C-alpha cells in the first residue's frame, strides 16, 4: 500500500476528525501508513481497536501503524507497548501535520489554533459534511471517561463556523451535520455566551444556500429557546433530534450525575412534536448501569415508547477505570447483555411504527449511494438506482423494507 488508510471507531466527532487526520497526514508527507482513530466510550470499542491493530499488521507488515483517538489519549502507554504499533498520538497531536512527518518529530507539535480543527473542505466518500463546532466537556457524568480524553468545553467562534459552512456548501454538500462532544454547551466559553440556537440562526443567515442542517446528540437539560424557535420555524433544520438520555429512571440519572429528570425528557419529546409534528426522535440509552434494578430498567424500557424513540443507540454499560461508576456495585454481564437486547427490541418496535406512519407521505431524500438515501427525519430510504449521489430528490414513500422505507422519485 502506498497511500494512508484511516480506520475510525466511535462517534461522529471522530468521523469528522478522521477527515482532518487525512488532510494532516497528506500535508505531513507520510505514506504507507495505517492510522487507527480509537474510541474510549466502551471496552468493546477498545477491543475492536486492538483487533484492528493486529489485523493491520498482519495484512500490511511493512506499513507504519499509528494509533490515536480517545483510547490512545487516556492510556498512551498501553498502545505504545503493543508490538504492532509504531507511533501513538494524542487527540491534539493527531490534527497536526507535524505529527505525520515520515520520522517522529523531535519536538511535540504545537497545539492547534482554536477552531482550526474544523477547517476541512470535503469528506472522502461521504454525501454529507460534518462540521465540528464544539470540543470537550465540563460535566463529569459518573460513567464517562471522555472529558479526560477531550478536555474542557471549547467552542468554535460563530463567524468561523459560518465561514466553514459556506466553504462546505460551495464544495457541493447539500447537508451539514454539526458535531461536538457536548453540542448544547456551545458558546458558554465565547464572548457574549451565544447559545447553540443563536449560532445556528447566524449560519442560516450567512449561508442562505445551505439546504439541510442536522444536529448530533443534544443534552435535554440544555436545549435553548432559540433552538426551539428554529425547530418550529426553519425548515432547513432537519426534523430529527437525537437526545442524550442514558436512562429513564430518576435515581439512576442522579447516580449518573445527569442534569435532567425523566419528566424533563418526556417534556422535551412532547414539545418537539408540538412545534414540529413531523419530527423523529432518537436517544442514547445505557443498559445495566451499576445498581440498576429491574424496576429501574423498566422505566428506561417504558421511556422508549412513551417518548416515541425510533432511533435508539443502546450502550451496554461498560466499566471505565477511573470513573466513579466503576466503584459502584456492578451488575452481572449476562443481565447487562439481556437488558441491552430488550432496549434494542423496544426501539425496533417504535421504529417499525414510525416507518408505517410515514408510508404514503413525501419527503426530500439525500442520495447517499446509488440505491440508498436519508430522509429529512433520518430514516433510511431505498429506491431504484440513481446516479446523482449527493443530490436531494423529492420522493414518495410507498413501502417498508426491513428497517428502511421504500421510495420512488416524484418527477
Q: Indicate the SS3 state at residue 90.
A: coil
Pick from 82-91, 113-122, 171-180, 333-342: least confident:
113-122
* 5-100 and 362-409, same CATH topology: no
Q: 300 or 389: whose pLDDT is higher? A: 300
The pTM is what?
Answer: 0.86
* Residues 6 or more apart in contact with residue 255 via CB below 8 angstroms: 142, 289, 290, 291, 325, 328
Report whether 136 contacts 315 (CB < 8 A).
no
Secondary-structure class of domain 362-409 per CATH: mainly beta
- Single out the residue of 242, 363, 396, 219 nearest to residue 311, CA to CA: 242
Pick from 107-121, 190-204, 306-320, 324-338: least confident:
107-121
Cβ atoms within 10 A of the Cβ of 273, count?
A: 16
For 226-249, what is the mean pLDDT? 98
For 374-398, what is the mean pLDDT? 93
Q: What local confidence, expressed as pLDDT, does residue 222 receive?
A: 95
Q: What local confidence, expressed as pLDDT, does residue 121 receive?
A: 60
Q: 322 or 117: whose pLDDT is higher? A: 322
- Helices 225-233, 262-275: crossing angle, 10 deg rounding: 30
How far, in Å, CA of 392 to CA of 373, rounded?
9
What sign for the dihedral angle of Cα 195, 196, 201, 204? Answer: positive
CATH match of 116-358 with 3.30.70.100: no
Cα of first residue to Cα of last residue in the chain, in angstroms, is 45
For 355-359, what is the mean pLDDT? 98
DSSP letter string over 357-379? HHTT-EEEEEEEETTEEEETTS-
CATH match of 5-100 with 3.40.50.12160: yes
Domain ranges of the chain: 5-100, 116-358, 362-409
Q: What local confidence, expressed as pLDDT, does residue 311 receive?
A: 97
Amino acid at each position: 500500500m502506498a497511500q494512508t488508510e484511516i480506520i475510525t471507531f466511535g462517534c461522529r466527532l471522530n468521523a469528522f476528525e478522521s477527515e482532518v487526520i487525512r488532510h494532516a497526514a497528506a500535508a505531513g508527507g507520510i505514506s504507507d501508513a495505517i492510522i487507527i482513530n480509537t474510541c474510549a466510550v466502551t471496552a468493546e470499542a477498545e477491543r475492536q481497536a486492538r483487533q484492528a491493530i493486529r489485523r493491520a499488521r498482519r495484512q500490511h507488515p511493512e506499513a507504519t501503524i499509528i494509533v490515536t483517538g480517545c483510547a490512545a489519549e487516556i492510556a498512551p502507554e498501553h498502545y505504545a507497548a503493543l508490538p504492532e504499533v509504531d507511533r501513538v498520538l494524542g487527540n491534539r497531536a493527531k490534527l497536526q501535520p507535524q505529527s505525520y512527518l515520515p520520522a517522529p518529530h523531535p519536538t511535540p507539535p504545537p497545539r492547534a489554533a482554536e477552531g482550526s480543527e474544523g477547517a476541512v473542505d470535503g469528506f472522502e466518500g461521504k454525501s454529507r459534511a460534518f462540521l465540528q463546532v464544539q470540543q470537550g466537556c465540563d460535566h463529569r457524568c459518573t460513567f464517562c471517561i471522555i472529558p479526560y480524553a477531550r478536555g474542557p468545553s471549547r467552542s468554535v467562534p460563530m463567524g468561523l463556523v459560518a465561514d466553514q459552512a459556506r466553504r462546505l456548501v460551495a464544495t457541493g454538500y447539500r447537508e451539514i451535520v454539526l458535531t461536538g462532544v457536548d453540542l448544547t454547551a456551545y458558546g458558554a466559553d465565547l464572548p457574549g455566551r451565544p447559545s447553540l440556537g443563536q449560532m445556528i440562526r447566524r449560519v442560516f443567515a450567512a449561508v442562505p444556500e445551505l439546504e439541510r442542517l442536522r444536529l448530533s446528540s443534544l443534552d435535554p437539560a440544555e436545549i435553548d429557546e432559540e433552538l426551539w424557535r428554529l425547530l418550529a420555524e426553519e425548515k432547513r433544520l432537519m426534523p430529527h433530534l437525537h437526545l442524550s438520555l442514558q436512562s429513564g429512571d430518576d435515581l439512576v440519572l442522579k447516580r449518573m450525575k445527569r442534569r435532567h429528570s425523566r419528566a424533563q425528557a418526556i417534556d422535551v419529546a412532547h414539545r418537539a412534536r408540538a412545534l414540529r409534528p413531523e419530527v423523529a426522535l432518537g436517544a442514547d440509552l445505557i443498559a445495566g448501569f451499576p445498581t440498576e434494578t429491574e424496576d429501574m430498567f423498566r422505566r428506561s424500557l417504558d421511556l422508549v415508547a412513551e417518548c416515541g424513540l425510533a432511533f435508539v443507540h443502546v450502550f451496554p454499560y461498560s466499566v471505565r477505570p477511573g470513573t466513579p461508576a466503576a466503584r459502584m456495585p456492578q451488575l452481572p454481564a449476562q443481565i447487562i447483555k439481556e437488558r441491552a437486547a430488550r432496549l434494542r427490541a423496544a426501539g425496533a418496535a417504535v421504529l417499525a411504527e414510525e416507518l408505517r406512519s410515514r408510508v404514503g407521505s413525501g419527503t426530500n431524500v439525500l442520495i447517499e449511494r446509488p440505491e440508498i438515501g436519508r430522509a429529512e427525519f433520518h430514516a433510511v430510504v431505498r429506491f431504484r438506482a440513481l446516479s446523482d449521489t449527493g443530490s436531494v430528490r423529492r420522493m414518495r414513500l410507498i413501502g417498508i423494507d426491513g428497517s428502511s422505507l421504500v421510495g420512488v422519485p416524484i418527477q
